[in-house]
Structure 1
Amino acid sequence: MQMPVHIVAALGFVENDQEEILVVKERRSGKWVFPGGQVEVGENLMDGIIREVKEESGIDVEISHLTSIYSNTGTYEGHSGVKIVPTKVMFDFVCKPVGGGLATSDETSDSRWVSKEEVLDMVSDPALRIRYQAYLDYNGNINYMDYITRPQFELKLKRNV
């Protein structure tokens, strides 16, 4: 029997003392997103998000709390030798900046702090928009959502756990 394969990823909603949110611009797509990405082999979730935020934005963070867990249950054809991109399990954390400075990387062409009200003017991806709204609405209960992103975004399940 073959073991199931999932991509595990983490995203950070980094909020500074001025209640601004950290966003980064992806080089590949040109879209504004929140820092985060795949957890590497042998790495735990929290170390993964701390590394990803630093790599993509130059900002050092500490994790405050988990707000949401997501499943992207859609699979699709990959590229560069990847036949099928598998289901993803994603965790969203609220983080606080503790050092570093805004920077770019091989993956990002810009990074900046924006007011909470401006975020949705910049972030266009439907999955990220719904995840940001869940962050804004966080009331102490963990959000869980199941969605697919291709061929178009579809929310399949939304609940608190």
Structure 2
Amino acid sequence: MMTDQPKHVLVACGLVRNDPGQLLLVKHRLRGWELPQGRVEEGEGLVFALSREILEETGVTVNHARLAVIWSKVSHPAAVIFCFIARYASGALQPSDETPEVSWCSDIEAKRLVTHPVNRDRMASVLAFDGALKLHSYATGPYRVLS
């Protein structure tokens, strides 16, 4: 007898810096300010999904994406969030239907603007990247970091 396999949503998230060192943030209609992120579509590579989501949400292209942190959401709906560090390549900031505001900001300003607990901790973990891939897990209802 076959049992249903667990299903996870895959998400690509990017901490993008421009030449002056500013971070790219988007303001999501529900969650507020956050790093650009979105679901990986079936059959899509992670770096391609990251680049596509950033372009769709901000109007800019990125390069030199490097995986920094993986977050596992263990509560329903389960998700695995692949957090990358990337460099701005080209394009002008352009809001989207999903992200009505986009902005370059300093690390200090980003820490002030990103207030949703999940996105705040996700951004902090990528900002703390020291060259070694980190793994974290969390649950919601209520939100808590497990590792």
TM-score, structure 2 as length reference: 0.94
Shift of 1:31: 0.5
Shift of 1:106: 1.6
**Size of the alignment, in residue pairs?**
145
Shift of 1:122: 0.3
Secondary structure at the aligned position of 1:18 is classed as: coil
Could you report, residue by residue, the CA deviation over 1:37-95 in whole angstroms, capped at 9, with x for unpaired residues? Answer: 100011010000000000001111113311101101011xxxxxxxxxx2101100011
Partner of 2:136: 145
Secondary structure at the aligned position of 2:11 is classed as: strand
User: What does 1:118-133 align with in structure 2 at a 5 Å threshold?
Assistant: 118-133=109-124
Partner of 2:25: 23
Partner of 2:45: 44
Q: Which amino acid in the other structure matches residue 26 of structure 2?
A: V
Q: Which amino acid in the other structure matches residue 19 of structure 2?
A: D
1:39 and 1:30 map into 2 onto residues whose CA distance is 19
Could you report, residue by residue, the CA deviation over 1:91-122 in whole angstroms, capped at 9, with x for unpaired residues? Answer: 00011111111001121111010001111110
Partner of 1:98: 89
2:125 and 2:27 map into 1 onto residues whose CA distance is 21
Partner of 1:3: 5
2:145 and 2:13 map into 1 onto residues whose CA distance is 19
Partner of 1:32: 33
Partner of 1:80: none
2:128 and 2:28 map into 1 onto residues whose CA distance is 26
- Any gaps of 5 or more consecutive residues in structure 1? 76-85
1:124 and 1:74 map into 2 onto residues whose CA distance is 21
Richer in strand (by share): 1
TM-score, structure 1 as length reference: 0.86
Percent identical among aligned pairs is: 34
Instruction: Name which of 11, 14, 17 aligns with 1:12.
Output: 14
Q: CA RMSD in A?
A: 1.1
Partner of 2:146: 156
Partner of 1:83: none
